[in-house]
């Protein structure tokens, strides 16, 4: 997947991001990130938000949110190379409100959140099992999400719709070539 990954807009707009060595991650393309953040900003979902970026890789999604005014961002990835790249990006961009955690996504959300999140990104490898994604979404929805939170799931366009727990309601699906973006929010009683 050639090309350079950059922050698209905001305080760090145009700045390059280091990507993890090897092919363990699949960065979200600039075109998809631009479309996603246009959609999120039209919903007022970024500025001031507490953000959780699971399967963060280089941190491109969470760092884009921070650049656009998110209050704080936690980048989580189980790959040492990915978290090293994410830490390098956080340092290079001088983003003190972004933290990086080396952890398995499921184990991370099984812990108690320091605070509920307003925006959660889940960009697992396309080979990540659908059942595992369903369990992760269920656990995330149990205690991590604020009442008006948005959850963004990025998957291959060939993947089925995520298995949403009853506590999450799908709002939007957008397809961009090989990539599908699913947005959901906590189900209202």
Token code pair at residue 146: 């604020």
From 6-10, 97-101, 124-128, 146-150, the region with the lowest mean pLDDT: 6-10
Q: What distance in Å separates the CA atoms of residue 54 and residue 104, rounded to the nearest whole number?
A: 9
Predicted local distance difference test score (pLDDT) of residue 28? 67
Q: Check residue 143 and give its pLDDT.
A: 92
Q: Chain-wide mean pLDDT for the chain?
A: 90
The predicted-structure confidence for 43-62, as pLDDT tens digits, reads as follows: 999 999 999 999 999 899 99
* pLDDT category of residue 16 using cuts at 50, 70 and 90: confident
Helix (H) and strand (E) counts in the chain: 5, 7
Question: Would residue 33 be called left, alpha or beta, if left means φ above 0 and alpha means ψ between -120 and 50 degrees?
Answer: alpha
Percent of the chain with pLDDT over 70: 91
CATH class of 37-186: alpha beta
Cβ contact 69:47 at 8 Å: yes
110-161 residue pLDDT tens: 999 988 999 999 999 888 999 999 999 999 999 999 999 999 999 999 999 9
117-122/145-156 β-pairing? parallel
Collect contacts of 68-71 with beta carbons under 8 A, ≥24 apart: 68/9, 68/10, 68/11, 68/37, 68/41, 69/10, 69/11, 70/46, 70/97, 70/119, 71/97
Give this prediction's pTM.
Answer: 0.91
The pLDDT value given to residue 3 = 54
Domain segments of the chain as ranges: 37-186
């Amino acid at each position: 997947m050639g090309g350079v990954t950059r922050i698209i807009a905001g305080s760090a707009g145009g700045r390059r991001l280091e990507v993890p060595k090897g092919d363990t991650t699949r960065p979200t393309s600039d075109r998809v990130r631009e479309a996603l953040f246009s959609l999120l900003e039209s919903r007022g979902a970024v500025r001031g938000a507490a953000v959780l970026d699971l399967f963060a890789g280089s941190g491109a999604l969470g760092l884009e949110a921070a650049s656009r005014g998110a209050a704080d961002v936690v980048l989580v990835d189980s790959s040492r190379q990915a978290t090293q790249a994410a830490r390098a990006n956080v340092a290079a961009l001088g983003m003190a409100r972004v933290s990086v955690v080396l952890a398995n996504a499921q184990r991370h959300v099984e812990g108690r959140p320091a605070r509920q999140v307003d925006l959660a990104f889940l960009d697992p490898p396309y080979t990540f099992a659908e059942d595992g994604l369903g369990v992760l979404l269920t656990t995330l929805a149990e205690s991590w999400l604020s009442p008006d939170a948005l959850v963004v799931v990025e998957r291959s366009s060939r993947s089925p719709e995520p298995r949403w727990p009853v506590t999450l309601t799908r709002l939007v699906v957008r397809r961009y070539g090989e990539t599908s973006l699913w947005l959901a929010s906590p189900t209202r009683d």
